[in-house]
Amino acid sequence: MAWSGPDGRRLYYEDTGRGDTVVLLHGWGGSIIELDHLRRELVSGFRVVAVDLPGSGRSEPKPRHYAPGYYLDDARALLGLLDRLEVGVAHLVGFSDGGEEALLMAALAPGRALSAVTWGAAGRVETSPEMLDALAHVVDAPAGPLETLAAYLVQAYGVAEARIMTESWAGALGAIIESGGDVSRSRAALITCPALLITGTHDPFCPPELVREMADAIPRGEFREATGGGHDVHRSHRGWLVSTVADWLSDH
C-alpha cells in the first residue's frame, strides 16, 4: 500500500497482524524485506506497520537527494503516515537510520510512543572523513565491507540512482557532523517512553560507548550490547535479536 503525504511523496507500507501497533523501520537504502523475519515473528501478537523509508524501497522520492535535515523531515512524514492510518500510539522499532527515525519520532511525539527499540542507532552521527568519502564513492569504488552494500544498491536502484543516493547521503551526513552531529541526542530528555538501545561490540558507526551515552540520556532508556556483533545485528545475532525485541514489546 502507499500513502502520499502533504508534499506529494509516496510512502510504501505494509500493514499486517492485530494488536498493539508496531512501526518497523529498516536501515538506509534498504526496504521492508530487510526485516521481514522480525515482522513474521511479531505479527502473531501485534499489528505491524512496516514502512519503506522515504527514497528507499518502493517509497519516493526517486532518486533521493538527501539534505542535512532529512532525519527530521522523514520523522515528520512517518508520523503523518500514522495519522493517515489513525494510529494513536505505537511501539517504534528500527535499525540504523530506521532506528534514528524511531528515536526522533519518540522525541517529537512522546505521547504517541508506547516504547522504542533500536539497534545501530545512537541519536547522533559520528564517523571519519575517510568513511564519508568511501560512502560517497561506494558505487564506483567499493572497498572491503562496503562491497556488499555497493552490490545491493546497484541491484536495487541501478548505477545512476545509487550514485545520486550515496553521494548526497554522504554529503548530508558530513553537514550534520559539521553542525555537531545531533540527530535526536539533544532531544533525549523528551523521549519519555521505555527505550531499548542495542548495538554490536564492533559497530563502526554506533560503537557501544556512544549508544550507551544515548540510552543513559533517555529517562527510561536501557542499553544492551550484542557481543561480537557489528552494525547488522539483525543478521549476525538474528535469533537473539528477534527474541529480545519480541520479549521487550510484550513486556511494554
Question: What is the C-alpha separation between 103 and 121, in angstroms, rounded?
Answer: 9
* Nearest by Cα to 34 from 192, 241, 247: 241
Query: Where in the chain are the domains?
Result: 2-126+182-251, 127-180
> Which tens digit of pLDDT belongs to each residue from 55-64?
999 999 999 9
3-state secondary structure 20-61: CEEEEECCCCCCHHHHHHHHHHHCCCCEEEEECCCCCCCCCC
Per-residue model confidence (pLDDT) at position 126: 92
Please report which helix (H) or strand (E) contains residue 157, including its range: helix 146-157
φ/ψ region of 57 (left if φ > 0, alpha if ψ in -120 to 50, else beta) reads left
For the chain, give the mean pLDDT.
96
Q: What is the DSSP string of 55-81?
A: TSTTPSSSS----TTHHHHHHHHHHHH
- In this predicted model, what pLDDT tens digit does every residue of 228-246 receive, in sequence order? 999 999 999 999 999 999 9
Q: Tell me what pLDDT residue 38 has.
A: 98
Cell digits for 94? 528500527
Q: Give the pLDDT confidence of 183-208 residue by residue, as tens digits.
A: 999 999 999 999 999 999 999 999 99
Give 144's pLDDT tier (boundaries 50, 70, 90).
Answer: confident
Burial code of 62-71, b = ≥16 C-beta within 10 A, e = fewer?
A: ebbebeeebb
C-alpha cell, 218: 533517555
- pLDDT at residue 118 tops 80: yes
**Is 0.85 surpassed by the pTM of this model?**
yes
Question: Residue 42 half-sphere exposure, CB side, CA atoms within 13 Å?
Answer: 30
Q: Which amino acid is at 170?
A: A
Helix, coil or strand: residue 113: strand
Q: 40-49 pLDDT, tens per residue?
A: 999 999 999 9
* Per-residue pLDDT reduced to its tens digit, 85-114: 999 999 999 999 999 999 999 999 999 999
Q: How many whole angstroms separate alpha carbon 242 and alpha carbon 5? A: 31
Q: What's 2-126+182-251's CATH class?
A: alpha beta
Distance CA 66, CA 100 (A): 15
